[in-house]
Amino acid sequence: MKLKVNVRRRRSNTIRTIEAVVDKRGRIRLLEDVKLPKARRALVTLFDDASRGHVSETALLSEPALAKDWSRPEEDEAWSHLQSEP
């Protein structure tokens, strides 16, 4: 099963989407190397095998533009009440 792992970096306020595979035992294998200065929280979204390859092209093409917009300080402030610090 493939999934996307979102890694949010505090310093640059960006979210990275990294493709990964989850095996039957729940082990996650990232499909690219990730270097982080320390451990980070991540959100894991699981997709059914049937939906593989059926990601909206519009969603894929709009992700970079939306990421740029979402990375603005005004957006962080607007949504800060929904974020909880560990």
Q: For residue 33, give Cα distances in angstroms to 13, 20, 36, 50, 73.
A: 20, 11, 10, 27, 28
pLDDT of 28 over the 80 cut? yes
The pLDDT value recorded for residue 9 is 47
The predicted pLDDT at position 6 comes to 59
d(CA 28, CA 52): 17
pLDDT at 4 over 70: no
Classify the C-alpha dihedral 43-48-53-54 as positive or negative. Answer: negative
User: What's the alpha-carbon Rg for the chain, to the nearest Å?
Assistant: 15
Q: How confident is the model at residue 25 (pLDDT cuts 50, 70, 90)?
A: very high
1 — pLDDT class (breaks 50, 70, 90):
low
3-state secondary structure of 76: helix
**pTM to 2 decimals?**
0.41
Domain locations in the chain?
2-82
Mean pLDDT of the chain: 77
Q: Write down the pLDDT at residue 70.
A: 79
Name residue 3's amino acid.
L
